A and B are shown apart, each in its own frame.
Chain A
């Protein structure tokens, strides 16, 4: 356990040298705090309507202005963090676990199992992922669980590909031979040795996929297929703001900045992790 802690410290040390990664990490920390403490941070109830101030621009009372229904945009952006982060996090977690298991089984066992799993993954890779997500949500209905399903289905193939090639590399190393020689079962070799040693690219991928998941969730919201109003969600709010954009651009600009910043956070971190964890890039 101590050695694992040490290696975490070492990775953090390397990560710290990458300025962009540190910025990314801070953005994510702030984002998570915002999501967790939304009720405390938001000055208003995100659904409280004050029709008299409809479409008012930014002011001291409403730092990001007011939307068409007289709701405080700042409070909605704060609450939106909760919705976007939760859905993206659950979706990425599911696809990381499912994708990694499928991919590592394919890579480790090879032959028929490999062919079957990877051909099924090819099917999902061949369908444009945004259209796949749209179709799933449109058919099954825009509920949160279906949104999560839609985002995970289009992300699983990426994870399985990466896990597969990582396990393929590990599979032929000496320590695996050694484990086999002392009579470990194949499944236990895979999950106790090969997989933990293949985690680096999977962790990097998870951070980068969080960025795409946030984009997909808000993109679906923008098309009217995401989280349904009046729940505050950045993409959905942005699409509502579109109709009166010329009079009140603030109602669309701020939710957009929120999406942009969160995606930047995860992209910066993922990129930095890649450099910090990837031994090939380390010394450059």
Chain B
């Protein structure tokens, strides 16, 4: 099992190298002279030369790439616009996004699981249909629209919560609900499907045949069994959210990492974009790896090397 985990870690290297090359080349496809983009239209030839030297713009692409990677690993990548180290700017932004993601998860995980279990326990009841329709609506809702509607109701009409920014706990509520809506739906659907599958398996039927109370069968035995796939889904969503919360962040003016990168894209600040995307991709694959390893630990079949069947 240790070897399996090690292979997975090693496989990440080519993937992340691929990401770095792709983003590097993509950012070089911006039309126009990068020096002019950095210095502005009115820059003097001397200023342009200085910038070209500073950012190695006259060097061949491969040298620029190697320089970038070297700076990336030593944490020395500098933002083209602000001239400050990118990591210094990026990390607080990342923590903000992390905070938003964790708070949304704290709402969505328990709520989604409760709804999913109830829907499965009372299958084809009104409650089940209600949860299923609601969750399909949840995954269909454009987050930026939901965000705007919530702002209209709770900030503009009722004046209960701030419409944006990041000041204190109140400003966390609306963006978290916005994210949690789709997340709850996904977790509820997943939990329901898994519960239904588990409830029809042999061991649950045996437990029922032994005359164990229904409640105990559902909550003690069945739920325990669906935890592994649910943890996987939650982990995957966690990885997606860290990079995918851009739209929510932009509706609520939340200073997260997604918006930081998007601002970088608009400002043609390719140091920021390359570093930011590399960082998020690395976090994403590491989270996925973490789930896989967790999965190995949780699943006794894999742990003992019996294989999946």
Contact = CB atoms under 8 A, between A and B. Distances in A.
Contact of B284 (A126, A140, A215): A126
B172 to A, nearest CB: 21
Contact of A131 (B27, B144, B151, B277): B277
A222 B139 contact: no
B293 interface: no
B103 interface: no
A254 to B, nearest CB: 11
B18 interface: yes
Interface stretch (B66-74, B226-234, B257-265, B298-306): B257-265
B38 to A, nearest CB: 16
- Residue of A123, A130, A131, A242 with highest tally of chain B CB at under 10 A: A131
B148 interface: yes
Given A126-B285, A139-B27, A260 B261 contact: no
- Residue of B196, B250, B265, B277 with highest tally of chain A CB at under 10 A: B265
Nearest to A215: B142
A223 B262 contact: yes
Interface in B152-177: 152, 156
Given A20-B133, A120-B18, A122-B15, A131 B261 contact: yes
B136 A267 contact: yes
Interface string A139-161: 11100000000000000000000
Interface residues of A, number: 43
Interface string B257-296: 0100110011000000100010011001100000000000
- Residue of B26, B27, B140 with highest tally of chain A CB at under 10 A: B140
Nearest to B246: A130
A123 B26 contact: no
A120 B149 CA distance: 39
A104 B29 CA distance: 31
SS class, residues of chain A in contact with chain B: helix
B14 interface: yes
A127 B280 CA distance: 7
A8 to B, nearest CB: 25
- Residue of B242, B280, B281 with highest tally of chain A CB at under 10 A: B281
A97 interface: no
A280 B30 CA distance: 49
Interface stretch (A31-39, A193-201, A245-253): A245-253
Nearest to A252: B148
Contacts of B262: 131, 134, 223
A135 B26 contact: yes
Contacts of A252: 145, 148
A41 B246 CA distance: 35
A222 B244 CA distance: 15
A220 B145 CA distance: 13
Contacts of A238: 144-145, 148
- Residue of B16, B142, B152 with highest tally of chain A CB at under 10 A: B142
Given A127-B23, A131-B246, A135-B265, A253 B149 contact: yes
A260 B140 CA distance: 6
B48 interface: no
Contacts of B142: 215, 218-219, 235, 256, 259-260, 263
A211 B140 contact: yes
B244 A130 contact: yes
B263 to A, nearest CB: 11
Interface string A113-141: 00000011011101111110011101111
Contact of A123 (B15, B265, B280): B15
B18 A219 contact: no
Interface in B1-48: 11, 14-16, 18-19, 22-23, 26-27, 29-31
Interface of B: 11, 14-16, 18-19, 22-23, 26-27, 29-31, 132-133, 136-137, 139-145, 148-149, 151-152, 156, 196, 240, 242-244, 246-247, 250, 258, 261-262, 265-266, 273, 277, 280-281, 284-285
10 contacts: A126-B285, A128-B242, A128-B284, A131-B244, A131-B261, A138-B265, A139-B29, A264-B136, A264-B140, A267-B140
